[in-house]
Amino acid sequence: MDINDLKKQINDRFENSPIQSSAFYADPEDQLDNQKKLRVTLKSFIETQNITTPFALQIMATHSDITIMPLGLLDLNELKEWEDKQRKENGVTYGTPDKKEGTPLVIQFESHVKDTKSDRQILNTYTDDLFNHFHDTFNNDIWPIVIKYLNENQTILYDLEKRLVEESNEIKNNTLKQLKKMSKVEIKEKIGMDLEENQWDHYSNYIADMSQVNSIIVSSSTFTKEQILKDKVFTQMMNIAQLRNTFFWILDNAFNEIIFFYIQAYGATDPKIKKHLHSIRKNLATNMRNAAWKRCNDIIEDQKKFDSQKFFTEVFLPIAENLEVEIDKFK
């Protein structure tokens, strides 16, 4: 077999074949649930497809995405280069002494944060292994790399939350300084209510918290408006599966950034608050999604204009207010 035959064989492997794709949101901390979702999704794939079917499974995390796919799916030249190298080194086209007919698997980690590098690993595991030895391949080869990348994503999340907390502390201190310089009359004129000195700390915390929540809301709503909606009407965006899924991924991310901000700000020094916030996290996430779906349906049914800032504020401000109340219970 000459190199031209080899290249034709590689092209035939993927070209003119529909790519089977699937995706799911990864919970920031429930790795058992993430493992279950991944196992079920991959198992379903091998039960309905074959070894040569091109596929891409994407795990959408808070600040990254992880993609599992055969080598060459995004760039056939990668597979050609790999095949050439294996042919020279081993004298076999399909890379391994036992002449597997499948393609090496790739797990790719793409960070959405500038300061964190993306990464990818070409596994010494083939689509043959995924189909013929699913249990061992999943447990020994795929999941260890996926969990590594999920943990890297969690590190990104916590690092970002630490920065938000640091900024929040600065805002709190500045607010306290301003209050100390003002008379009771000036305070009432500025904030619209009487505020006793023993309430200053609580008020300053609240202002600092809401400032950070608002920055998350503005960032998420701006991204939705400029990168997802663009010049489309809301109904058009929701009718395109990829855009709709990305929109709800942004909603999930905004929720996680908000609740983990509170966990970092108050739970880092109070284990009881941390435990409590973790215990209500999933329920609040469900409430958030239900509220978002309702507002989406209302916009579509009433043919309203979609105001991104208003939408995110109405969905997430009640979540933040709820968290403030929950934290106050421990004080």
Task: Parse the chain into domains and list their residue ranges.
Answer: 3-156, 182-328
Report whether 308 contacts 298 (CB < 8 A): no
Specify whether the CB–CB gap between 319 and 255 falls below 8 A.
Answer: yes
Summarised one tens digit per residue, pLDDT across range 121-137 is 989 888 889 999 999 99
H or E element, residue 224: none
C-alpha to C-alpha distance for 44 and 2, rounded to whole angstroms? 37
pLDDT, one tens digit per residue, over 136-178 is 999 999 999 999 999 999 999 999 999 999 999 999 999 999 9
Q: State the pLDDT at residue 70.
A: 87
Output DSSP code: residue 103.
-
Q: What pLDDT, in 10s, does the model give residues 214-257?
A: 999 999 999 999 999 998 999 999 999 889 989 999 999 999 99
Residues 6 or more apart whose CB falls under 8 angstroms from that of 17 comprise 52, 53, 54
Q: Which has more pLDDT, 329 or 79?
A: 329
Q: What is the DSSP letter of 204?
A: H
pLDDT at 100: 62
CA distance 289 to 83: 46
Helix residue spans in the chain (DSSP H):
3-14, 31-48, 76-90, 127-132, 134-137, 143-180, 184-191, 200-223, 234-239, 241-262, 271-301, 308-328
Give the mean pLDDT of 90-110. Answer: 70
Determine which of 14-28, 135-149, 219-233, 288-302 has the lowest per-residue pLDDT on average: 14-28
**Rounded Cα–Cα distance for residues 142 and 134 (Å):** 10
- For residue 155, how far is the Cα from the chain centroid? 13
Task: Find the farthest-apart pair of alpha carbons in the chain and give their distance in angstroms, rounded.
Answer: 90
Q: Is the predicted pLDDT of residue 32 greater than 50, yes or no?
A: yes
pTM, two decimal places: 0.84
* Average model confidence (pLDDT) across the chain: 87
Instruction: Please give the Cα distance from 268 to 261 (Å, whole number).
Output: 10
Classify each residue of 8-26 as buried b or exposed e, where b means 16 or more C-beta atoms within 10 Å of its C-beta. Answer: eebeebbeeeeeeeeebbb
Q: Report whether 64 contacts 153 (CB < 8 A).
A: yes
Region 176-186: what's the mean pLDDT? Answer: 91
